[in-house]
Chains A and B, each alone.
Chain A
Amino acid sequence: MGNNLVQNIIIAVIWIVAAPILGGILSGIDRKITARMQNRFGPPIMQPFYDFFKLLGKERITVNQTQMVYVMGHLFFAIASLVMLVLKQDLLMLMFILAFSTVSLIMGAMSVRSPYSKIGAQREIIQMMAYEPVLILMVVGVYLTTKSFMISSVFSESTGPLLYNLPLVFFAFLYVLTIKLRKSPFDFSTSHHGHQELIKGLTTEFSGPQLALIELTHWYDLIILLGLITLFFAKPIWVGIIIALVSYFLELVIDNISARVTWRWMIKATWLIGIGAAMINIVWLYLKMKV
C-alpha cells in the first residue's frame, strides 16, 4: 500500500510537470496549423511558451485584491482533476472538479466591475449550462458499459474499447469539446481574436502573471480533455492517443471554417444535438442491458 502511494505520487508529479509542456506544444502546433490553413507562415512552435514567460515577467496589476485567488483556484482544481485522471479515479467527481475550476475563473471575471469581463462571465456560465449535462451523460455512458465510475475500470481486462458501445456519446463529446476549448463557432466568452465586441471577455481584467496562469490552466485543460477522449479507446492506448490527436485536428478545422454563433443558437443546438445524441446512446445501452 505504501509502495502504491509512492508510485501514485510519482505518476502524479510527472504528469503535473509534463502536462503543461505537452499542452503548450500542442497549442503551438495549433497556432502553426491554423496559420497554415490561413495561408500564413505562423509563429514558432514554442510561441505559447514565449508568451507565457513574457507574461510572467510583466508588472503585476490588479483591479481588486481577490482576482489572484480565483486564478489560483482555476489552476489548482484543473491540476486536481488531471491528477484524478492519471490516477484513474472517479470520473464523475473529476467532472465536478473540472467544473469547479471553470466556476472559479467565472467568479474571478465577475469579481470586477467591468462590463466586458462580466458579460464574458455570463456567457461562460451559459456555455457551462450547455456542455455540463453532456459531460455527465458521457460519464453515465461509461458507467453503463463498464459498470463502474472508476476510470481504472476502463483499463480493466474485461472491457473492450468504449467507442464500440458509445459512438454517439463520443460524437456528443467532440461537440462539446469545441465549446470547452473555446473554439469557433463557440468562442464567445473570450472572443479569441482581438478587437471584438467583448474586448477579451472573461480574461479582460486579468493581466501579466494572472493571464499567464490562466494560459497554463488552459494547457492543463487541453491535456485533460484529450485524455478523456483517449478513454474511448483505452486499449491499446496508442490508438486512443491517435484518435485524440485526430479529434484535436478536427477541432482546428472546425475553428477555421466556422463563424461565431449566438448563445441562444448554441444552447439549442447543444441540447438538441449533444444531449440528444448522448441520450439516444444511453437509452439503447439501457435497453440492451435489460434484455
Chain B
Amino acid sequence: MGVISKSRKKSPWVIHYDCTSCNGCDIETLACLTPMYDVERFGIINVGNPKHADVLVVTGSVNKRNVRVLKNIYNQMPEPKAVVAVGACACTGGIFKECYNVLGGVENVLPVDVFVPGCCPRPEAIIDGIVLAMDKLDEKAKKMKEEKKKANQSVKV
C-alpha cells in the first residue's frame, strides 16, 4: 500500500461547492488555480465531478435549500474523502448564522476535516488547508482499512 498511500498525498482532486457564499471565498479559491499560486504544483486539480473528487471544498453557510444538494454531492464521492470548510461562513455560519433559513456551518451537516477561517481566507491559507486535508485523507484510509480488518477478524471469531 506504500505506493497508493504516497500517491494519495500527492494527488488530491478537489470539487468546489458554493453553498451560500457571498462569492468572496469563491474568488479566493479560484485564485489558487492562477499562475500566481498554481495549486497544480501539489497535484491539486479542480474537477467538476464528485465521482472523481477526493476533497470537497465548501464555501458559505449551509441553508435549508441547498443542504440536499450538498449531501448528495458528498454521498457521490467515493471513499476515502475529506471535507474542507473554507471561510467564516462555512466554518460557523458567519454573519448569517442567525438567519431563519440558515442551518449554520458545514459541520452541522457533514463531517468536516479541515476548517480554514477568514473572511475571506487568503489563497495561501486555502492551499494550506487542502494540503492538511491530504494527510487526513490518508489517515482516514488507513483507519478504514484497520477497521475493516478488525471487522473481518471478528467475523472469523
Residues of A within 8 A of B (CB): 31, 35, 38-44, 47, 49-54, 56-61, 194-196, 199-200, 203-208, 211
Contacts and interface: CB of A to CB of B under 8 A. Distances in A.
A50 B7 contact: yes
Given A42-B41, A53-B6, A199-B49, 8 more contacts: A42-B40, A50-B6, A50-B11, A51-B43, A61-B51, A200-B48, A205-B51, A206-B51
A58 B49 contact: no
Contact of B38 (A42, A59, A195): A42
A196 B47 CA distance: 10
Contacts of B49: 194, 199-200, 204
With most chain A CB atoms within 10 A of its CB, the pick from B47, B51, B79 is B51
With most chain B CB atoms within 10 A of its CB, the pick from A38, A59, A203, A211 is A59
26 contacts: A31-B40, A35-B40, A40-B35, A40-B40, A42-B38, A42-B40, A43-B40, A47-B10, A49-B7, A50-B6, A51-B11, A52-B7, A54-B8, A57-B5, A59-B80, A61-B51, A194-B45, A194-B47, A194-B48, A194-B49, A195-B46, A196-B48, A200-B48, A203-B52, A204-B49, A207-B78
B54 interface: yes
A54 B54 contact: yes
B7 A204 contact: no
Interface of B: 1, 3-8, 10-11, 13, 35, 38, 40-43, 45-49, 51-52, 54, 78-80, 141
A53 B3 contact: yes
Contact of A47 (B43, B48, B52, B80): B43
A67 to B, nearest CB: 11
B48 A199 contact: yes
A204 B51 contact: yes
A41 B38 contact: yes
Given A40-B38, A57-B141, A50 B47 contact: no
Nearest to B52: A207
Contacts of B6: 50, 53
A54 B4 contact: yes
Nearest to A48: B11
With most chain B CB atoms within 10 A of its CB, the pick from A41, A43, A56, A196 is A43
B142 to A, nearest CB: 11
Given A49-B7, A50-B7, A56-B4, A43 B79 contact: no
B7 A53 contact: yes
B48 A35 contact: no
A32 to B, nearest CB: 10
A49 B38 CA distance: 20
B78 A38 contact: no
A24 B38 CA distance: 22
A205 B43 CA distance: 22
A54 B78 contact: no
B96 to A, nearest CB: 25
B7 A51 contact: yes
Nearest to B144: A59
B4 A53 contact: yes
B59 to A, nearest CB: 14
A94 to B, nearest CB: 31
A9 B7 CA distance: 32
Nearest to A211: B52
Nearest to A63: B51
B52 A200 contact: yes
Given A61-B78, A194-B46, A207-B52, A47 B38 contact: no
Contacts of B1: 57
Contact of A35 (B8, B38, B54, B80): B38
A195 to B, nearest CB: 4
A31 B6 CA distance: 20
B39 to A, nearest CB: 9
